[in-house]
Structure 1
Amino acid sequence: MSETLSIHVNRDGLHHIDVAQSFETDDSFTIALKNHGAPIHAHLHLDDDLSEAASLGATNHYVKADDTRHVTVTVRDAPASGKLKIVTGYGAETAYVDVEIHELDEQQDSIPVDESLSKPQRRHSARTESASSNVVKNLPLILLGLFAVVLAFGAGLVVDGGVALFGALVVLAGLGAAAYFLLQ
């Protein structure tokens, strides 16, 4: 449930703070300080109860005009609850967020594993699978090549045998080379 707590400052006036009244998580989370106006300093503070389970890397943050500053809150222990205090304008505005940290639900983040995964699997060669799929894709081309070979041998029987036979062998060699490259 790792989420982001958005805090909007300077949206409705200088030093104004707009934030949800409560926030719930089960893991470390990010605070996004979104400044909608002039540059500002924001002070973040975890109350005593919350600071026993979580921590901030720094408490004072400068946020440039029309910029967002991301602050990580590292959760060490759960469950826990407490208040996050946000102060702007050196005390001109103050807001509080009730933070609830739930225990991490291991089952929610787990991936079920079937017993069949523990048994050895027959290995299929990727080359064999791709070759068979290439044969299916190129079946019309292969049939056209075979028709050309049959036509060349038929012409060899009707016309002078030696020249037609040579032509049929050239067509057959070309078909073999094409098949080799198609199946790669």
Structure 2
Amino acid sequence: MSESLPVRLNHDRLHDIQTRASLEATDSFPVLLHNGDAPVHVHLHLDDALSAVASIPANNHFVDADSTRQVSVEIEDGGPRPVEGQLKIVTGHGAETDYVSVTVAEPDEEDGVAVDETLAERSGGDAEDAAADGTDDSGFEFPDVSVRRNAPVAVLGVFALAVAVGSASLSDSVAVLAGALAVLGSVVAAGYLLVR
């Protein structure tokens, strides 16, 4: 956003307007209405040249005593540049009038952020290197990926084996014992396939 335009109201006398003679802006800017010790009505108006590239949401503003009101002058992107025009400031329903010459200029090239092709390149950072060699900055070694992926299956196998052994020891049935041996064989086979 461009620099603001300060406007002092009711400073020396009632309805008095004090502001800069000119302002150069590259984009939208705020008009700061600093009021003195009496409430005032302020009318802001853009001439035809400025109205082609800028707008004010509302033209009439009430500013209370000893307060500041900010009014934004919105400048459209992509409009013709440069444009010169007048911002008209009126107080007290026409009691005082002042003009500010406003120039809407092209934005400086350095206002934007320069991005070159190296920003899009993926950096081979330390985290990737650490993941590749299986360590992090603290020297901790990560388990092999296959072990981490198969850990839930191994835990379920151990749980199934514990249930089978518990059932076989609590029951005097030959069928339960045969089932426990079948579970034991399945867990051993699954463990062999996981490790392979």
TM-score, normalised to structure 1, is 0.64
Aligned to 1:9: 9
**What is the CA-CA distance between 1:90 and the residue it aligns to?**
1.1
**What one-letter code is carried by the residue in structure 2 that aligns with 1:97?**
V
Aligned to 1:98: 101
**Matched residue SS, 2:124:** coil
The 1:116/1:50 distance shift into structure 2, 3 A limit, reads: closer
Give distance in 2, aligned partners of 1:9 and 1:63: 9
**What is the CA-CA distance between 1:2 and the residue it aligns to?**
1.3
**Matched residue SS, 1:100:** strand
Aligned to 1:116: 118
**Matched residue SS, 2:126:** coil
Structure 1: runs of 5 or more not aligned? 133-184
Q: Quick check: 14-23 or 68-77, which moved more?
A: 68-77
1:44 aligns with 2:47: no
Residue in structure 2 matching 1:81, options 68, 80, 84: 84
Structure 2: runs of 5 or more not aligned? 140-196
**What is the CA-CA distance between 1:74 and the residue it aligns to?**
0.8
**What is the CA-CA distance between 1:95 and the residue it aligns to?**
0.5
Give distance in 2, aligned partners of 1:50 and 1:114: 35
**What one-letter code is carried by the residue in structure 1 that aligns with 2:41?**
H
**Matched residue SS, 1:62:** strand
Q: Name which one, 1 or 2, has greater alpha-carbon Rg.
A: 2
* 1:43-80 per-position Cα deviation (integer Å, ceiling 9, x unaligned): 11111111111111111100011111111111122321
Q: Quick check: 72-81 or 2-11, which moved more?
A: 72-81
Q: Give the fraction of aligned pairs with identical amino acids, expressed as a percent.
A: 48
